[in-house]
């Protein structure tokens, strides 16, 4: 048996996160011009509704076939059929607290007990004032049947589920994140 070590504690990214975490291609989960690609945009707000202008959103998702190019996917690592698919996105918020990610819709995923997870992105939010990232999920509004059967969505209080479902826009979807307050986004312990 190997030695068990305590994890290194998290600390805030602070207000100068852009120095270390800015990627020119961060927003592009898929390259510009990818067929079927759309923008996910949203605003991050604090408990007073004020935009959080120094936050960073990171996304992680399966490819359109519901596969990951990762050795711990028990179905086997498989490069995506979408050229340039990274699965990962990173967008800082702007002066209006807005982030933006260009991506494609992930496929549904099998779960260990035979259930099926609806198409979703997992998101991390980092910011000054967040001592640890907060984690949420984004689901799609035009998947009502899949969403209704999703085990994670079903585990959330019915009156808060809508905080995890994006809204449609002209070029994709909108997903605002409310860090605290009346319509606080559901955040997960992962």
Q: What Cα–Cα distance (Å) separates residue 114 from each residue in 59, 110, 150, 162?
A: 25, 7, 12, 25
Confirm or reject binding of residue 17 to other proteins (CB under 8 A): yes
In angstroms, the CA 148 to CA 109 distance is 14
Name residues whose C-beta falls within 8 Å of residue 172's C-beta, 6 or more positions apart in sequence. Answer: 38, 39, 40, 41
Give whichever of 170 and 182 is closer to other proteins, judged by the CB atom. 182
> What dihedral do alpha carbons 94, 98, 103, 107 form, nearest 10°?
140
Which residue, 47 or 171, has its beta carbon nearer to other proteins?
A: 47
Whole-angstrom distance, CA of residue 85 vs CA of residue 62: 10
- Residues 88-127 binding other proteins (CB under 8 A) are 88, 109-114, 117, 120, 122, 124, 126-127
Contacts of other proteins in 131-170 (CB under 8 A): 131-135, 137, 151-152, 155-156
190: three-class secondary structure by DSSP: coil
In the structure encoding, which two tokens stand for residue 182, read together?
């009346």
Question: Counting contacts by CB under 8 A, is residue 24 touching other proteins?
Answer: no
Q: Which is nearer to other proteins, 2 or 170 (CB)?
A: 2
Among 1, 96, 145, 158, binds other proteins (CB under 8 A): 1
Range in contact with other proteins (rule: CB under 8 A) among 7-15, 31-39, 92-100, 166-174: 7-15
CB of 169 or CB of 178, closer to other proteins? 178
Handedness of CA 122, 123, 124, 130 (dihedral sign): negative
- From 31-39, 60-68, 92-100, 138-146, give the range in contact with other proteins by CB under 8 A: 60-68
């Amino acid at each position: 048996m190997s030695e068990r070590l305590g994890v290194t504690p998290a600390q805030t990214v602070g207000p100068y996160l852009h120095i270390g975490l800015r990627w020119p291609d961060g927003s592009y989960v898929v390259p510009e011009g990818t067929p079927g690609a759309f923008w996910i945009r949203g605003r991050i707000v604090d408990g007073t509704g004020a935009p959080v202008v120094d936050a960073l959103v990171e996304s992680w998702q399966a490819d359109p076939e519901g596969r990951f190019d990762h050795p711990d996917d028990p179905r086997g690592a498989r490069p995506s059929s979408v050229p340039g698919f990274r699965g990962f996105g990173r967008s800082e918020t702007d002066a209006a607290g807005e982030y933006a990610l260009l991506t494609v819709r992930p496929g549904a995923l099998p779960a260990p007990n035979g259930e099926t997870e609806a198409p979703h992105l997992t998101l991390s939010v980092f910011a000054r004032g967040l001592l640890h990232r907060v984690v949420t999920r984004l689901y799609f509004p035009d998947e009502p049947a899949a969403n209704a059967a999703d085990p994670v969505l079903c585990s959330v209080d019915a009156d808060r589920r809508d905080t995890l479902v994006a809204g449609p826009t002209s070029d994709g979807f909108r997903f605002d994140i409310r860090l605290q307050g009346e319509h606080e986004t559901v955040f997960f312990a992962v």
